Chains A and B, each alone.
Chain A
């Protein structure tokens, strides 16, 4: 079956530009997560959606970062006025979202963002 997909796979932009990164979760998964991974580090949590609403956005580094999930499926991570420090792999994951001990997160391949 189809897994989590992310587009684009690579994005190169210039400092100060606006970018959008898209995530298509597994069908039926109500929970969606965004993470950011810098070289040599583990993924860092950014934001978590349960349905259409952001249940936890405590990981967003500043107000240049924003994410939406208007219909409870596809999500878009938006970065304004990009900075070189935003360069990283942006990972999306989805899960069934049930409040049980087992709630495996399925990750996409990531979008590699490079800010020149």
Chain B
């Protein structure tokens, strides 16, 4: 079973920041937080991952709370192409990904 809890859906206006929360209260000390997204009719796509520190790449930022029980994925300037299902995944290694049902993000004009 997935070890994360995410809201089923969110809306965001184009150009605004999209903040997607994830709860992982049972995370272990050696487990990483990964984010993937799945655009309609495509395979999932890696976005970002982190252990303790906040991370940023060209796609997004990942903010992990100090107690590591929750995190937030931030898309700083959402576009229509960011409309997708976003999955927060907690894993020790990367042998397999355990997906939950994710958050369906709808970016509107």
A: residues with CB less than 8 A from B are 4, 31, 33, 35, 40-45, 48, 55-56, 59, 91, 93, 95, 99, 101-110
Contacts and interface: CB of A to CB of B under 8 A. Distances in A.
Contact of A105 (B42, B97, B101): B97
B43 A91 contact: yes
Nearest to A98: B94
A43 B46 contact: no
B43 A109 contact: yes
Interface of B: 2, 32, 41-46, 49, 51, 85, 87, 93-102
A18 B46 CA distance: 33
Contacts of A105: 44, 46, 94, 97
B99 A55 contact: no
A42 B95 contact: no
A23 to B, nearest CB: 11
A95 B46 CA distance: 11
Nearest to B89: A42
Contacts of A55: 95
Given A4-B43, A105-B46, A99 B97 contact: no
B43 A107 contact: yes
